[in-house]
Amino acid sequence: MKRNVKLGWLMTLLMTAALTVPARGQVLNSAASTITLNAVLSQSVSVTLSANAVNFTLTSGSANNPGSTSITATTTWTLKPSVGSLKVYAFFSNSASALTDGAGNNIASADFQISNNGGAFNALTNTVPFGGANAGLQLSSTPILGNNRTGTRNDVMNFNINLVPLPNLPAGTYTGTLTIQAQAI
């Protein structure tokens, strides 16, 4: 029986120890530390073209010498609230020789025409912020308002060369570079 008493006593002691919850102390917190976050979304304007070449089969003295394909200029932008408009321009570096055969025979920018988004054909005879004097054309102007500081627009361009002003243009291969560029102001 002595053994049973000892065993009972030991069991009671173990059960009491198991059921006893240690007392909690006061909550202790560290000082708060901060992290400064900086996120920058820069302004951007880009122009991508659906193709980079247009071919023409010219007929001497003809006003109608269309390009082989249309080109879509896709302008994409992310701008600050202070920007008022986004303009897209087409231009040559020189109005007298937009296209040349390299032997001194030229097609002027005034004889090169663009129809933008199905509109009338217009010659490149304006001075724009880029390129040569009297060698450009403004294709579009988009007002930048609160709801379009980020956006995309497409300008579908068709091309024509008017050879009526050049009745004596000699046969040859005429090449030139037309540039499309956007400006946010």
Higher-scoring residue by pLDDT: 22, 67: 67
Residue 1 lies in a domain: no
pLDDT tens digit string along 26-61? 999 999 999 999 999 999 999 999 999 999 999 999
Per-residue pLDDT, 17: 55
Report phi then psi at 40, rounded to 5. -115, 125
Residue 166 lies in domain: 44-184
Residue 2 lies in a domain: no
Residue 21 lies in a domain: no
> What is the pTM for the complete model shown?
0.82
107 burial (CB, 10 Å; 0-12 / 13-18 / 19+) is buried
Per-residue pLDDT, 146: 84
Residue 146 lies in a domain: yes
Q: Let me know the angle formed at the C-alpha of 126 by 132 and 86, rounded to the nearest 5 degrees.
A: 95
Tell me what the pLDDT averaged over the chain comes to: 92
Q: From CA 58, how far away is CA 35, in angstroms rounded?
A: 67
Instruction: For the chain, give the DSSP string.
Output: -HHHHHHHHHHHHHHHHHHPPPPP-----PPP-----------EEEEEES-S---B---TT-S--BBSS-EEEEEEEE--TT--EEEEEEE-S-STTSEE-SSS-EE-GGGEEEEETT--EEES-B--SSSSTT-EEEEEEEE--TT-SEEEEEEEEEEEE--TT-TTPPSS--B---EEEEEE-
Residue 49 lies in a domain: yes
Residue 10 lies in a domain: no
185 burial (CB, 10 Å; 0-12 / 13-18 / 19+) is exposed
106: CATH: 2.60.40
Q: Residue 138: CB partners within 8 Å, gap ≥ 6?
A: 87, 88, 89, 126, 128
Residue 76 lies in a domain: yes
Residue 12 lies in a domain: no
pLDDT at 5 over 70: no
Q: How confident is the model at residue 18 (pLDDT cuts 50, 70, 90)?
A: low
pLDDT tens digit string along 145-170? 989 999 999 999 999 999 999 999 99
When divided into structural domains, the chain yields a total of: 1
